[in-house]
Amino acid sequence: MTALKNNFKRRLMAALLPLVFLTLFPDKSARAQDQGSGTIRMNVNLVDLDATVKTKDGRIMDGLKKEDFEVREDGTQKKIELFSRDELPLRVALVLDLSDSIEPFLGPLRDAATTTLSALKPEDEVALFTFSTEAQLSVPLTQDKTKIADQISSFHTGGATNINDGIFVASEYLLKNAPKGRRVIILISDDVGTDAGGQGTRDIVTETLAADASVYNLKIPGYNPPDTLFYSGMIPGLVNIRKVTEQTGGEIFDVHDVGNLDAVFQALIHRIKTRYTMGYYTTANGAEGKPHKLDVRLAPSFGKKGRDYTILAKTSYYFR
C-alpha cells in the first residue's frame, strides 16, 4: 500500500509541476495541443500591463484585488488571469540629460541615485543612457546599482538637448535586450529640448509601447536663460513628454527645488514598485501589425473612472 501511495504522489507531482511553472513563469504565448483529429489549433497570447490607481484627491489606492479591476481590449472585456504587486523583476532604463543646463545638478543627482536605486530589489536591473546632441548607452542592464550612480559623477555636460532620441534609443534597447519583467524608462531632464532628433512623438510612443515600457519623467529645474526657452518654443517636432507618459501609463514627477531631488526621486521609485501588474490572454498576434486599444478601470462599485478615481496605465499595445 505504501508503494502505491508513493507512486501516486510521484505521478501527481509530475502532473502539477508544469502547471506551477507556467503560473510562476508564464510564456508570452502558448499553443493548444492536438487531442485528436479535428482539434482546432489556436494561438493564446499573454498580455501584461501595469496600473497605478489614485483617488480623486490624488492618494494612491492600496489593497485592491484582482476582482476589483476590469480590462477591455478593443472594447471587449477580458478575464484577468494574473495579478501581483511588485513581484516581477524590474528592468529600468535611466535616460539622463547631459546638456549644459543640467551641469549644476549632476552632483546632487548622483547622491540621489545612490540612495534611491538601492531601494530596488537585488534582481532588478538598471541601464543608463545619456543624451545631449546625440543619445547613447553608457551602462548596459546590470544588477549593480552602484555602478550606475558612480558613472553619473564622471560625466561632463555640453551640447544640445535631444530628448527625442534619448527616449527612443532607450525604448529600442529594452525592446531588443530586456528579459522578462516590467520595463520602465525614467527620463531625467529639465524637459527643455533644443534638438528634435530623428524621431517624432508618434514614433516614440509606438516604440515604447512595442517595448512594453512605461515612461516616467523626473523633471529637474535646469538652468535655462530666456533666449534658450524662447528658442526651444520655436523648434518643430520636439517630443511631447506629457503625451508619452500618459499613453504609456507613466507620470511626471516635478522637482521644484534641487533640495527636494532625493525625496522626489524616492517617491518615483516607490510608485514604480507599487503598481498593480495584471495579465490576460488574447487571440491577437504580431502578424496583425496594428495597435490594440486598452481600457483599465475599477469595478462599477468604485464609481466612475475620471471622476471618482484615476488610473495610470498604457492605453494601447503592440503584440510582439
d(CA 187, CA 185): 6
Which residues are within 8 A (CB) of 287 and not within 5 positions of it... i.e. 6 or more apart?
none
Q: Are residues 147 and 136 in the same domain?
A: yes
Instruction: For residue 7, tell me if it sits in a domain.
Output: no
- Residue 279 has φ and ψ, to the nearest 5°, of -145, 145
Q: Are residues 125 and 257 in the same domain?
A: yes
User: Which pLDDT belongs to residue 307?
Assistant: 95
What interhelical angle do 106-117 and 145-152 show, nearest 10? 170
User: Which pLDDT belongs to residue 15?
Assistant: 41
Burial class of residue 24, CB neighbours in 10 A (0-12, 13-18, 19+)? exposed
Length of the chain: 320
- Residue 252 has φ and ψ, to the nearest 5°, of -105, 125
Tally of CB atoms within 10 A around 179: 9
Q: Tens of pLDDT along the chain (320 residues)?
A: 444 344 444 444 444 433 333 443 444 444 333 333 333 334 468 898 999 999 999 999 989 999 999 999 999 999 999 999 877 789 999 999 999 888 888 889 999 999 899 999 999 999 999 999 999 999 999 999 999 989 998 899 999 999 999 999 999 999 999 877 899 999 999 999 999 999 999 999 999 999 999 999 999 988 888 888 888 889 999 999 999 999 999 999 999 888 999 999 999 999 998 899 999 999 887 666 788 999 999 999 999 999 999 999 999 988 76
* Residue 153 · residue 184 · CB < 8 Å: no
The whole-model pTM stands at 0.84
Instruction: For residue 32, tell me if it sits in a domain.
Output: no
Amino acid, single-letter form, for residue 89: P
Q: Are residues 185 and 228 in the same domain?
A: yes
Strands 292-298 and 316-317 turn out to be: antiparallel
User: Which pLDDT belongs to residue 44?
Assistant: 61
Instruction: For residue 22, tell me if it sits in a domain.
Output: no
Q: Are residues 195 and 158 in the same domain?
A: yes
Q: Are residues 48 and 127 in the same domain?
A: no
Q: Are residues 197 and 55 in the same domain?
A: no
User: Which pLDDT belongs to residue 104?
Assistant: 85
User: Which pLDDT belongs to residue 23?
Assistant: 41
User: Which pLDDT belongs to residue 284?
Assistant: 81
Q: Measuring CA to CA, which residue among 162, 163, 110, 152 is closest to residue 128? A: 152
Domain that holds residue 131: 90-273
Q: Are residues 157 and 287 in the same domain?
A: no
d(CA 82, CA 277): 8
Domain with 133 in it: what CATH number?
3.40.50.410
What are residue 295's DSSP bridge partners? 72
- Using alpha carbons only, what angle is made at residue 69 by residues 47 and 81, rounded to the nearest 5 degrees? 40
- Residue 208 has φ and ψ, to the nearest 5°, of -70, -35
Domain count, the chain: 2
User: Which pLDDT belongs to residue 16?
Assistant: 41
Q: Are residues 111 and 224 in the same domain?
A: yes
User: Which pLDDT belongs to residue 153?
Assistant: 83
User: Which pLDDT belongs to residue 101?
Assistant: 87
Q: Are residues 131 and 259 in the same domain?
A: yes
